[in-house]
Amino acid sequence: MDLITLCNKINLQDEVKERVLAFTEKFDFKKADELQKRYYVYGDMKDARNKVIEILGEDNDGIKIFSCMLRAALDTYTFYKNKGISDEIYYDTMKCFTRFIGETYKITGKYCFDRQWWTTRQVGGHLYRIGQLEYEIIPEEGKSIISIHIPSDADFTPVAVEKSIHDAHKFFERYYKELAGAEFQCCSWLLDSTLKSMLNSNSNIISFQNRFDIYDEGDVDMEFVEWIFNKRTNDYSTLPEDTSLQIKVKEHLLAGGVLRNSCGRLKNIGKNRIKFKRLLVLGCPGSGKSRLAKRIHGLTNLPLYHLDNIWWKKDRTNITREEFDRILDGILMEDSWIIDGDFKRTYEKRIAACDTIIFLDYDEEVCLQGITERVGQERDDMPWTENEIDPELVTLVKQYTNNSKPVLLELFKKYSDKNVIIFHSRKEANEYFGFKED
């Protein structure tokens, strides 16, 4: 790894890259490089950083300390490689530098760096970006906690958040076995309960809040103003009103309100703690919806309904739509259930009634293999045995990505209060529930 490659991989702004390279050509980094090795010790980060800043002298635009941080990040790449952590996570984590430069430019109109107090975490191997969220290992006496942070460019939809948290559990189980069972926490203005009165119950922020048990309402911190409005000011009357969140928060501030950095513990820590009462298992034909639903039924004892068994008769004819809807509506009124099946026409009513959705987002080839492998197999989720591949089913599989999947993704956004879990392989699903491979 070299500096130019790193700058290119993190999409560093051209002007900033030129200034970094110009500085590195003329500066002797020997003392700074030695000090920056101390970033790997969590308690030494602040002191080491301050001593580097002393060496650098005047640094009005922050490019000097920025250049030092990038050099430290080169060493961090070796740290990642030694642990076996992927390049994808490394570059996603180090893109914080580009993001911070961009945020400052948006506010000031200048390319400068002022987050050196934060980025020691990334280059010290204490903080990782996994999907849409960041996770910081904070050592405490007798244990460590994992602190969740929300980058400004994150996809904050429940689907994306759920995937990130799920992948983070896998990440720490694999690369930090000593953190098994560590508590995930978050301290952020996004957890301030005041927001519940400002936002709809199905907003992304409220969905995020619902993942946590709040244990500390926290102190007032006005940094959220910059995060929400991309502006640094104490004159709240000048704040923009381009989004519903901006409108509500501006109104709150002008009325004398504040937001606090509230702290919460992530609920349901651990892949085997399953707390749902109404579960939908959705996915392309051949993805294995019924198989997974049966295994979850065996784990939870929740009532299980295969929609194919309701729709189809043994003679391969089907009941009427009216009768199907009547039966389905009755099931949806029950206190608890697991329902698997596609039936696009009924997506929305099922999603509206459930509390949790599992979406098997598998490749087309996997699903085609799935419908091939079940030929000749007796199944209790269908009233007959398929003796040959159904051409219509093959067509449904090939059209699924363009026809059905976009509808589901839009409904996931509409019903953002639902807990949506997306698996991209059978291995992922089995690992999540602790099942042995099929």
Distance CA 373, CA 98 (A): 48
Q: Which two tokens stand for residue 30?
A: 């020997």
- Give CA separation, 314 vs 107, 305, 324, 370, 371, in Å: 66, 17, 15, 22, 19
pTM: 0.71
- Give CA separation, 36 vs 1, 64, 83, 135, 314, in Å: 17, 14, 20, 21, 71
CATH of 278-433, one of 3.40.640.10, 3.40.50.970, 2.60.40.1930, 3.40.50.300: 3.40.50.300
Mind listing the pLDDT tens digit for each residue in 270-282? 444 456 899 999 9
- Of 304, 417, 409, nearest to 361 (Cα)? 409
Residues 6+ apart with CB under 8 A from 230: 103, 106, 107, 240
In 352-404, which ranges are E strands? Answer: 356-360
Q: What is the CATH number of domain 127-270?
A: 3.40.630.120
Distance CA 66, CA 78 (A): 19
> Mean pLDDT across the stretch 179-200?
91
Q: Which two tokens stand for residue 242?
A: 């381009």
Mind listing the pLDDT tens digit for each residue in 38-68? 999 999 999 999 999 999 999 999 999 999 9
Distance CA 299, CA 337 (A): 13
Sign of CA dihedral 371, 372, 374, 375: positive
Mind listing the pLDDT tens digit for each residue in 96-139? 999 999 999 999 999 999 999 999 999 999 999 999 999 999 99
Instruction: Check residue 218 and give its pLDDT.
Output: 92
Average pLDDT for the chain: 91
Instruction: Check residue 260 and give its pLDDT.
Output: 94
Angle separating helix axes 14-26 and 63-83, nearest 10 degrees: 90
Q: Domain ranges for the chain, please list them.
A: 1-125, 127-270, 278-433
Instruction: Check residue 274 and give its pLDDT.
Output: 57
Element (H, E) at 260: none
Answer for the pair 183, 237: CB distance below 8 angstroms, yes or no.
no
Mind listing the pLDDT tens digit for each residue in 5-27? 999 999 999 999 999 999 999 99
Residues 6+ apart with CB under 8 A from 438: 288, 291, 426, 430
Residues 192-229: b if buried by 16+ CB within 10 A, e if exposed: bebbeebbeeebbbbbbbebbeeeeebeeeeebbbebb
> Mean pLDDT across the stretch 395-403?
94
Instruction: Check residue 438 and give its pLDDT.
Output: 60
Kindly tell me if the per-residue pLDDT of 298 is higher than 90. Answer: no
Task: Give the strands of the sheet with 419-423, arranged side by side.
Answer: 304-306, 337-340, 278-283, 356-360, 419-423
Q: Which two tokens stand for residue 51?
A: 């001593």
